[in-house]
Amino acid sequence: MKTAVIGAGGWGTTISLLLNEGGHDVTLWARSEELVSSVRRTHENESYLPGIEIPQKILITHNAELLQDKELYVFAVPSQSLREVATALSPFIKNKKALYVSASKGIERNTLKRMTEVIQEVLGVESDRALAFSGPSHAEEVARKIPTLVTAAGSDPKAVKIVQEAFFLPNFRVYSTSDVIGVELCGALKNVIAICAGIIEGEGYGDNTVAALISRGLAEMRRLGIALGADEQTFAGIAGLGDLVVTCLSKHSRNRRVGEEIGKGKSLTEVLSGMKMVAEGVWTTESARELAKRHNIEMPIVEETYRILFEGKDHRTATRDLMRREAKDERG
């Protein structure tokens, strides 16, 4: 297929490598002309994916006109930038026959829309042409062909099959589902829980605490997901539990890293100013809290994370308050 990947960060670059390995024609679009020049010169994305060779067959460009007439568009930009980027590129990428895949993990601030909803709105795409792509897939490992599993989600089985087959490789296994809502919510909400996992690490707590966080964090994710129309089973799968575990525990997790620094006493402003790549969970915390309020869903971990990040609450006090909540049935 003729494909285009929008966003040349670590994940976007890795997606272009996967599509290229699968024999597809790949155009990788980058917002930064400087990045394009660097990759063309060195055949490596030194800023976001160092040490990985980028084949010359992959066309990396800043020229939006070269994105026209593709069959598959994959968005791998930060979630809060998706609307802006899609709007700017819309004259060149609108195609009623194309499929549009979101590989971005987040919930848009203010609108509280999922990424496929943003794509549909900006590009005038029918819901069956907008798909989600998510799972435990750190770019640093996928690019080195470490065995990885993800999930492709869409309302049209034929469209999902096309995406599944486009990415299916010996070391990259793709499952399919019709639960777009569940897959997107899992990909977004697990980043919030990962910030908490980092805080636990920074505080010096142990494995018991992290295990408890993952278990109860998943319960919160599931509660909100069901309220929004997701399939409960999705939260126990690759896009749910799988991605939650890796993001909470991995050294590659930017969201966990944010939490670690906060747990060591730094402010959110200090942490973010020292980061080159985006930690999606920070802004997703704000969106998840608002969704929980709108739908009257109890999400105490998300609530305390919000207070730590945006209201300056001491993280140890937040931990104490969570531990001292009234006794409940675990299934509640």
Dihedral angle of Cα 156, 159, 160, 163, to the nearest 10 degrees = -170
> Do residues 90 and 112 share a domain?
yes
pLDDT band at 84 (very low <50, low <70, confident <90, very high): very high
pLDDT (average), residues 160-171: 98
Q: What is the CATH number of the domain that holds 75?
A: 3.40.50.720
Q: What are the tokens at 295?
A: 């739908």
Residue 50 domain boundaries: 2-178
Specify if 328 maps to a domain: no
Reported as a single tens digit per residue, the pLDDT across 105-117 is 999 999 999 999 9
Is there a catalytic annotation at residue 94? no
Residue 200 C-alpha from the chain's centroid = 22
Cα separation, 71 vs 258, whole angstroms? 37
Specify if 329 maps to a domain: no
> Do residues 58 and 195 share a domain?
no
Question: 180-203 and 207-227 are packed helices; what angle lies between their axes, rounded to 10 degrees?
Answer: 150
> Do residues 171 and 74 share a domain?
yes
First-residue to last-residue Cα distance in the chain: 47
pLDDT band at 273 (very low <50, low <70, confident <90, very high): confident
pLDDT (average), residues 185-202: 97
> Do residues 164 and 203 share a domain?
no
Reduced to 3 states, what is the DSSP secondary structure of residue 266? coil
Q: What is the pTM of this model?
A: 0.96
Q: What are the tokens at 129?
A: 């042409």
pLDDT (average), residues 259-286: 90
> Do residues 38 and 130 share a domain?
yes
Report the pLDDT value the prediction gives residue 146, as an integer from 0 to 100. Answer: 98
